A and B are shown apart, each in its own frame.
Chain A
Amino acid sequence: EDKVVQSPLSLVVHEGDTVTLNCSYEVTNFRSLLWYKQEKKAPTFLFMLTSSGIEKKSGRLSSILDKKELFSILNITATQTGDSAVYLCAGKNAGGTSYGKLTFGQGTILTVHP
Chain B
Amino acid sequence: GAGVSQTPSNKVTEKGKYVELRCDPISGHTALYWYRQSLGQGPEFLIYFQGTGAADDSGLPNDRFFAVRPEGSVSTLKIQRTERGDSAVYLCASSRNSGSSYNEQFFGPGTRLTVL
Contacts and interface: CB of A to CB of B under 8 A. Distances in A.
Interface residues of B, number: 32
Contacts of A107: 41-42
Interface string B43-77: 11100101000011010000000000000000000
Given A41-B112, A88-B42, A88-B43, A101 B48 contact: yes
A50 B99 CA distance: 16
A43 B48 contact: no
B45 A102 contact: yes
Nearest to A45: B104
Interface of B: 4, 31, 33, 35, 40-45, 48, 50, 55-56, 58, 89, 91, 93, 95, 98-99, 101-110, 112
12 contacts: A4-B42, A41-B109, A42-B91, A42-B108, A48-B104, A94-B101, A97-B56, A104-B42, A106-B40, A106-B42, A107-B41, A107-B42
